[in-house]
């Protein structure tokens, strides 16, 4: 190990328990191990559990580096939000410090400003992301592929706007696309100042719009990563991100299917935790010293992503 540590707080796994996405926890621990990072995992099982470290006496939230909120039923979100609202000030300080939250699927509602149910009832979220969530009239299911917005994309973006990625925005080593599946019971509407996580390559966007941006350069995960032709008036967006607070609709589990995405999350958080360290260089050096690369470690996942992209490029699903 290289002396770096990632403290993961796994929230309410018996309540937020859909789609086998507890695999995201296993993926984070495994990828940390591969990169020479020590992962420490703590489960918070019940909504009534006190978030206090039994050893240090400090807050579990302040001690955490990444809070994981896996998918759950929309009906349980008011209870989850109520439990976390008691720690809202601590969560706001946590987010301001550049620490991470990953909310997946319907549980993204927890981070929203407000949630509107089909019966017209409205309840408030934690407001850590500037977005509104509406319950859908019908469930939608299909694959999803989206292209991560680069760190160089500093302009605020809302769904429907277009923007262009810089050529140096993505690592030349890692793919820039993320693939998964969607089982959507909600649509998400981003405010003007809320940046999206990615741009849809295939599938349903945040607000229920569908589309593809396949062209002659797209169809494998790697070759399309820096393609700027997607930045047109038809661009459709996925998820939301602010600093290291991330919401995605992608299931899979998304970190199992896309270890390069997990690496990006881990390294981004550790850059803030260890500001004087070059975290990507350290993880590369750790791999090199052991004669390994992420190309070989994640070869199966890369092949799977390419196959999914090729399949969806030709799939007749009615998306345009």
Average pLDDT over residues 257-269: 97
Residue by residue, DSSP assigns 181-222 as: EEEEEEEEEE-TTPPPSEEEEEEE-TTS-EEE---TT-SSTT
pLDDT digits (tens, 9 = 90+) for 46-63: 998 877 655 545 578 999
Q: What is the pLDDT of residue 235?
A: 73
User: What whole-number distance in Å separates Cα of residue 63 and Cα of residue 43?
Assistant: 13
| Average of per-residue pLDDT values in the chain | 84
Which tops the pLDDT comparison, 296 or 232?
296
| Domain assignment of residue 77, yes or no | yes
| 54 found inside a domain | yes
Number of domains forming the structure of the chain: 1
The pLDDT, as a whole number, for residue 250 is 97
CATH number assigned to the domain comprising residue 282? 3.40.50.880
Does residue 319 form part of some domain?
no
* 104 located within any domain: yes
Residue 320 lies in a domain: no
- Condensed to tens digits (0 to 9), the pLDDT of residues 64-102 reads 999 999 999 999 999 999 999 989 999 999 999 999 999
- Does residue 230 lie in a domain region? yes
Q: Which residues have a Cβ under 8 Å from the Cβ of 100 and sit 6 or more positions away?
A: 65, 66, 67, 244, 245, 246, 265, 268, 269
Residue 293, domain member (yes or no): yes
Q: What pLDDT shows up at residue 215?
A: 37
Average pLDDT over every residue of 126-144: 96
Per residue in 192-218, pLDDT (tens digit) is 999 999 999 999 999 987 765 543 333
122 within some domain:
yes
pLDDT the model gives residue 153: 57
Q: What is the pTM for the complete model shown? A: 0.86
Give the domain extent around 301. 4-314
């Amino acid at each position: 190990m290289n002396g770096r540590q990632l403290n993961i707080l796994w929230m309410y796994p018996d309540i937020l328990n859909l789609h086998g996405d507890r695999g995201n926890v296993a993926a984070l621990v495994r990828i940390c191990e591969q990169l020479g990072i020590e992962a420490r995992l703590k489960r918070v099982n019940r909504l009534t559990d006190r978030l206090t470290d039994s050893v240090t006496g400090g807050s579990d939230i302040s001690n955490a580096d990444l809070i994981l909120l896996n998918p759950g039923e929309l009906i349980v979100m008011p209870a989850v939000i109520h439990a976390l609202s008691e720690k809202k000030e601590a969560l706001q300080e946590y987010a301001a410090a550049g620490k991470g939250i990953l909310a997946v699927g319907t549980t993204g509602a927890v981070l929203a400003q407000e949630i509107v149910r089909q019966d017209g009832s409205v309840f408030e979220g934690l407001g850590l992301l500037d977005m509104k969530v509406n319950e859908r009239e019908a469930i939608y299911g299909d694959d999803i592929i989206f292209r991560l917005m680069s760190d160089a994309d500093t302009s605020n973006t809302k769904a429907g706007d277009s923007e262009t990625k810089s050529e140096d925005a993505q690592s030349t080593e890692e793919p820039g696309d993320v693939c998964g599946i969607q089982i959507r019971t909600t649509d998400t509407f981003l405010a003007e100042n809320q940046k999206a996580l990615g741009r849809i390559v295939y599938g349903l966007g945040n607000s229920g719009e569908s589309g593809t941006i396949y062209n002659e350069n797209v169809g494998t995960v790697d070759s399309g990563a820096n393609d700027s032709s997607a930045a047109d008036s038809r661009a459709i967006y996925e998820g939301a991100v602010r600093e290291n607070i991330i919401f995605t609709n992608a299931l899979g589990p998304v970190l199992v299917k896309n270890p390069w995405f997990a690496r990006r999350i881990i390294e981004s958080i550790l850059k803030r935790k260890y500001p004087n360290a070059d975290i990507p260089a350290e993880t590369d050096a750790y791999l090199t010293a052991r004669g390994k690369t992420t190309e070989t470690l994640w070869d199966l996942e890369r092949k799977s992503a390419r196959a999914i992209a090729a399949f969806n490029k030709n799939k007749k699903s009615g998306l345009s």
